[in-house]
Amino acid sequence: MPETLNTPPAAAPTMDLSRKLRWRSIFSNSLDALVVVMTCAAIIPLISVIYMVLVRGAVHFRPDMLWKLPPAMGMQETGGFGNALVGTLIMVGIGALVSVPVGVLTAIFLTEYSRGSRSARTIRFAAKILSGLPSILAGVFIYGAVVLHFKNSAYAGGLALSILMLPIVILATEEALLRVPRFLREGSLALGANPTQTVLQITLPTAAPAIITGVMLAVARAAGETAPIIFTAMFSNFWLRSLNQPTASMAVLIFNDANVPDDNLITLAWSGSFILILLVFVTNIISHFVVNRSR
Amino acid sequence: MEPTAEIIPDQPRKIPLPVLGAQARAARRFDLFFTKATLLAGWGTVALLAWIALQIGYQAWPAFVQYHFGFLFSQTWDTENDVYGALPFIYGTLVSSALALLIATPLGVAIAIFLTEDYLPSSVQDFFKFTVELLAAIPSVIYGLWGWAVIIPITNILGNWLNAHFGWCPLFSTPASGPCFLPASFVLAIMVLPTIAALARTALKATPVATKEGALALGATRWEVIRQISLPMASTGIAGAVVLALGRAMGETMALAMLIGNKNQISASLFAPANTIASLLANSFGEATGPQVAALMYLSFILMFLTLAINAAAEWVLDYTGASKRHV
């Protein structure tokens, strides 16, 4: 109990010592208070963001926003973000389709086939560096590698998102696989299964909840990303007809409508934020419980 | 066949296998295929990183040939005459990130201390930890929208007051211009706070309990323990956290593109609009052609070089201290 140690002893031997002790505990207690205040101060922005999204977005949210097209600027007609929602879902889908297989296979290589080796260290380092790559640079890369040769499209946006999702999937899957107890693998091998049978039938299914959680976190992250798709998928005010054309997304819609002189569009941006925040928070809360349970 | 003699631990695939049935042979072939596939995916990740660097470097080459390193020190950004320089953007990136860290580091370390040094029961600690993690999950563009609605009105009032009373100071030499350095850095600070808090917490958690208990038993107060034992022992990890956060802050795009004002100038004032590399890229790439694309690629290359070097340094420091187990 450190608290009891903070208070000076009742009968201090000399006046001098007791004064010194009092100063020491005043110093300690005031820093305690400072730390509490600073932690609470850090939570205020979170509360404020949630409050604003509820007051500006959720209150004005109408279900038909989910299937209507964005209104033209200056028109007071009410519209929605149906095309942006579809675009976001499709591009995140493409991103997951590319990044999940590659990411899971990479993590399997790291933990099951080359644990602790030099190549595993190199690959893990690359994944960590990739996770620190600014998201805008994923967009720049896809712009140079894809858009300049073809055109702005949902494919390009999805590929840019997959670069951001890949390290998240790798690191989450790796952590999930490392948590599978060793004796399960040994049991399977002892029964005559080969390493791949062990991975596919024992290790992966055991780690599945945590892996799915990691994938969900990557999806939630990608759904809110704007920088990589702003000039790879661009935006469109119409329904998606083909994956090979500029595609709307929720994030770019929020960015475009954030400070236009049109209250209707600003409300639309806040309502879109409400949907995105809902997605992100629900995913994070689910993942929190899944990860906590598996510990 | 003496199977007992042939089982060599750790090298299962070197065993000359007995005659297998068709099913077992298929399983073995699939095993080889799957192993190769994972190897390919793993090195594919490394190759992707190399490809990103080479692609951006290749596309930046024309601009590099034209401007060399003078690009880094030139202040013009003239899209009509195709004359480009990077200094205002590099300045904006470095200053906004440094300001953000100045705000976020004390807060992050305070949170980490609050969540490790026996203040709270562990269930309450978990709740606070999760709350701070949620801050990291909010998309950048929503922070931009929020900053526009909440932070800018506050910094406008603050900036105008400071300019009126302390206008002689270069930091407050301009009236608040709406979107400018201070709101951008403030929101940036909120965005990197979870990184600092989480990694500093890991570093503080790794300090040995016995040493701290020893100090307490000798009569040290809680803060004497924190100041003289916990913080010094965790300082490498905390430094790694701050460096990693710097890398994140420099690459952060959307919130800055919305809050920093996008003006290509260098001003000492906290309330003057500015621009960063990332927000210039976000705003200009859509319409750029020809030489401007090359100049933007050169800027991307600078940003990539800075962030990757900083990240690699941070990973190295964190690996060294064993504190990088979990990122936010």
**DSSP letter for each residue of B92-160:** HHHHHHHHHHHHHHHHHHHHHHHTTSSSS-HHHHHHHHHHHHHHHHS-HHHHHHHIIIIIHHHHHHHHH
Indicate if the pLDDT at residue B120 is higher than 90.
Answer: no
Size of interface A-B (CB pairs under 8 A): 277
**pLDDT band (50, 70, 90) for residue B326:** very low
Question: Which residues have a Cβ under 8 Å from the Cβ of A156 and sit 6 or more positions away?
Answer: A142, A143, A146, A147, A150, A232, A233
Q: What is the DSSP letter of B12?
A: G
Q: What is the CATH number of the domain that holds B315?
A: 1.10.3720.10
Angle in degrees, 0-180, between the axes of helices A118-131 and A154-178, rounded to the nearest 10: 130
Judged by DSSP in three states, B274 sits in: strand
In chain B, the percentage of residues whose pLDDT exceeds 70 is 91
Chain B residues touching A145 at Cβ < 8 A: 51, 55
Q: What is the average pLDDT across B250-273?
A: 85
Closest among A159, A216, A231 to B253, alpha carbons compared: A231
Q: What is the average pLDDT across B62-68?
A: 84
Q: What is the average pLDDT across B194-205?
A: 90
Q: What is the average pLDDT across B280-284?
A: 88
**pLDDT band (50, 70, 90) for residue B219:** confident
Is B189 an 8 Å CB contact of chain A?
no
**pLDDT band (50, 70, 90) for residue B13:** low
Q: What angle do CA A273, A274, A279 make, to 5 degrees?
A: 95
User: B324 vs chain A: nearest CA distance in angstroms?
Assistant: 10
- Name the token pair of B89: 């953007």
Contact B134 A199 (CB under 8 A): no
Residues A22, A7 contacting (CB under 8 angstroms)? no
Q: Is residue B51 part of a domain?
A: no
Chain A interface, best mutation among B55, B93, B243, B254, by max A CB count within 10 A:
B254
The 10s digit of each residue's pLDDT in A25-63 is: 888 888 888 988 988 888 898 899 999 989 888 888 888
Query: Tell me, what's the ipTM?
Result: 0.85
Chain A residues touching B193 at Cβ < 8 A: 42
Looking at residue A115, its pLDDT comes to 78
Indicate if the pLDDT at residue A98 is higher than 80.
Answer: yes
Indicate if the pLDDT at residue A140 is higher than 80.
Answer: yes
Chain centroid to CA B239: 13
Q: What is the average pLDDT across A96-113?
A: 92
Looking at residue B1, its pLDDT comes to 42
Is A212 an 8 Å CB contact of chain B?
no
Q: Which of residues 228-257 of B touch A (CB under 8 A)?
A: 244, 247-248, 250-254, 257
Q: What residue in B sits closest to A22 (Cα-Cα)?
A: B221
- Name the token pair of A244: 């090979």
The 10s digit of each residue's pLDDT in A164-205 is: 999 999 999 998 898 888 888 889 888 888 888 888 888 899
Within a 13 Å sphere around the CA of B216, how many CA atoms are in the beta-carbon half?
A: 19
Count of structural domains, chain B = 1
Contact B285 A189 (CB under 8 A): no
Angle in degrees, 0-180, between the axes of helices B231-251 and B181-205, rounded to the nearest 10: 140
Q: Is residue B227 part of a domain?
A: yes
Architecture of domain A82-294: Orthogonal Bundle (1.10)
Residues B302, B72 contacting (CB under 8 angstroms)? yes
User: B168 vs chain A: nearest CA distance in angstroms?
Assistant: 31
Q: Is residue B181 part of a domain?
A: yes
Looking at residue B43, its pLDDT comes to 93
Indicate if the pLDDT at residue B325 is higher than 50.
Answer: no
Is B129 an 8 Å CB contact of chain A?
no
Looking at residue B328, its pLDDT comes to 34
Please give the Cα distance from B258 to B199 (Å, whole number).
28
Indicate if the pLDDT at residue A270 is higher than 70.
Answer: yes
**pLDDT band (50, 70, 90) for residue B196:** very high
Residue type at B35 in one-letter notation: T
Distances (CA, A) of A35 to A30, B103, B223, B248: 9, 14, 11, 25
User: B81 vs chain A: nearest CA distance in angstroms?
Assistant: 23
Contact A137 B304 (CB under 8 A): yes
Chain A interface, best mutation among B17, B38, B230, by max A CB count within 10 A:
B38
Within a 13 Å sphere around the CA of A204, how many CA atoms are in the beta-carbon half?
A: 13
Q: Is residue B75 part of a domain?
A: yes
* For chain A, the helix, strand and coil percentages under 3-state DSSP, each to the nearest 5: 75, 0, 25
Question: Which residues have a Cβ under 8 Å from the Cβ of A183 and sit 6 or more positions away?
Answer: none
Count of beta carbons in the 10 Å neighbourhood of residue B88: 22
Higher pLDDT, B22 or B209: B209
User: A77 vs chain B: nearest CA distance in angstroms?
Assistant: 22
Indicate if the pLDDT at residue A72 is higher than 80.
Answer: no
Contact A39 B223 (CB under 8 A): no
Q: What is the average pLDDT across A112-120?
A: 83
In chain A, the percentage of residues whose pLDDT exceeds 90 is 19
Indicate if the pLDDT at residue A6 is higher than 60.
Answer: no
Indicate if the pLDDT at residue A11 is higher than 60.
Answer: no
* Torsion of the alpha carbons at B119, B125, B128 and B129, rounded to the nearest 10: 120
Chain B residues touching A6 at Cβ < 8 A: 221-222
Q: Which domain holds residue B99?
A: 69-321
Of A282-286, B46-50, B288-292, the one with minimum mean pLDDT is B288-292
Residues A251, A85 contacting (CB under 8 angstroms)? no
Looking at residue B17, its pLDDT comes to 58
User: A80 vs chain B: nearest CA distance in angstroms?
Assistant: 18
Q: What is the average pLDDT across A248-263?
A: 84
Please give the Cα distance from A157 to A251 (Å, whole number).
12
Q: Is residue B242 part of a domain?
A: yes
Mean pLDDT of chain A: 84
**pLDDT band (50, 70, 90) for residue B260:** confident
In A45-60, which positions are buried (b, 16+ CB within 10 angstroms) versus exposed (e)? bbeebbebbeebbbeb
Looking at residue A95, its pLDDT comes to 93
Q: Is residue B39 part of a domain?
A: no
Higher pLDDT, A287 or A108: A108
Residues B326, A128 contacting (CB under 8 angstroms)? no
Domain ranges of chain A: 2-60, 82-294
Looking at residue A294, its pLDDT comes to 59
Helix (H) or strand (E) holding B51: helix B22-67
Q: Is residue B35 part of a domain?
A: no
Chain A residues touching B111 at Cβ < 8 A: 38-39, 42
Contact A196 B30 (CB under 8 A): yes
A196-205, B61-70, B319-328, range with greatest mean pLDDT? A196-205
Q: Which of residues 57-96 of A touch B (CB under 8 A)?
A: none
